[in-house]
Amino acid sequence: MRHLLRMASHSSRTNMHARNLAIVWAPNLLRSKDIEATGFNGTAAFMEVRVQSIVVEFVLTHVEQLFGDAPLRGMAPPGGTVVG
């Protein structure tokens, strides 16, 4: 995710901001064998990719909060006090 975020930081030159990266990468990052097994196509497949891309875009826009060293607001770091 940090690599994709780094790619998004160059969006002024590449036009690959978080939303575009999410559309491209979501089907690979959130691949569902159940969906492949049922043979989704057409509208159902489009809706599934849409949901996947929304999730990946959310993760990309919240990388620091999700994966950073800083604790989230209202949560205690290991062995620490509540932040926020």
Question: Residue-wise pLDDT tens for the chain (84 aa)?
Answer: 888 988 999 999 999 999 999 999 998 898 877 666 666 666 777 778 888 999 999 999 998 888 886 544 555 555 555 444
pLDDT for the residue 84: 46
Cβ atoms 16, 82 nearer than 8 A: no
Burial of 15-39, coded b for 16+ CB within 10 Å and e otherwise, reads eebbbbbbbebbbeebeeeebeeee
pLDDT for the residue 69: 60
